Amino acid sequence: MRCSVLGDPVAHSLSPVLHGAGYAAVGLDWWYGAVRVPAGEMPAFLASLGEDWRGLSVTAPLKREALAIADAASDRALLAGAANTLVRVGEEWHADNTDLPGAVAAVRERYDGAVTAGTIVGAGATAASTGLALCELGATRVRLLARDPSRAEETVEAVRRHPSGPEVEVRPLTTGDVVGEVVVSTIPADAQTAATVELSASAAVVFEVVYDPWPTPLARRAAERGQVVVGGLDLLVHQAALQFTAFTGVPAPLAAMRQAGEDELRARSEQ
């Protein structure tokens, strides 16, 4: 059976490492790769796949496109307005969003305190999933700090759809400030200015969804300040474990997948 991660760019993805380690740990003779699929080309790609293809992990910029073209979707994918997972069921592709529960698990693994509010730096599909995760953790107020607030409408609508009815607001990244116990950053490491890094100083938890390069400027500074740091690998492992089980029907070997990810990031940092 064949699975893959799709995105553009995608060569940096750790997903093949994690899933490959999972297959080895449970004795599955499956293949997992990384395929560059530009925005707008998912329908043609899906149509080209043979019957041996079972599951697809979906990353930027394809998460909203994946939901739109799926034959069916889970409630949490519909809630987020984006899918990071496509599972083949017969002749159909079913969409799911494992980023949302993966983010909840990643935070709770490192932090057991209250979450009454949170701030997200960024406003794309990952911001929507992590915003909903903050609501699952108890946040009644979510603030988005966006480089272009005019492009945040889909994310705002997604977070507002949470059954708890959270207060959601958008402010410019350059002038906005942080609220709540958790700050989530969804922007690339090379976009993290000194001012952006210092925004998170008041938070108990800094959740950096980027995992490569690691540590990012934001994660490094948060560790220096003694804040709880939830890393992109934490999120990736937890959401990948859920995908692994959805694709294979086998419980995910979480420890083996995490170790493989840590080893790969260490090797990359030494190059």
- Residue 151 main-chain phi, psi, to 5 deg: -100, 10
Q: Are the C-beta atoms of 103 and 129 separated by less than 8 Å?
A: yes
Give the C-alpha separation, 18 to 244, whole Å. 9
Say which of 19, 54, 63, 258 is annotated catalytic.
63
Give the C-alpha separation, 99 to 38, whole Å. 21
Q: Is the peptide bond before 213 cis (omega within 30 degrees of 0)?
A: yes
Instruction: Select from 35, 33, 1, 37 the least CA-distant residue to 19.
Output: 33
- Residue 36 main-chain phi, psi, to 5 deg: -75, 120
DSSP 117-160: EEEEE--SHHHHHHHHHHHHTT-SEEEEEESSGGG-HHHHHHHH
Q: Are the C-beta atoms of 17 and 41 separated by less than 8 Å?
A: no
Mutual angle of helices 99-110 and 125-136, in 10-degree steps? 50
Instruction: Select from 60, 57, 124 the least CA-distant residue to 85.
Output: 57
Annotated catalytic residue 126:
no
Greatest extent of the chain over all pairs of C-alpha atoms, in Å: 52
Catalytic residue numbers read 63
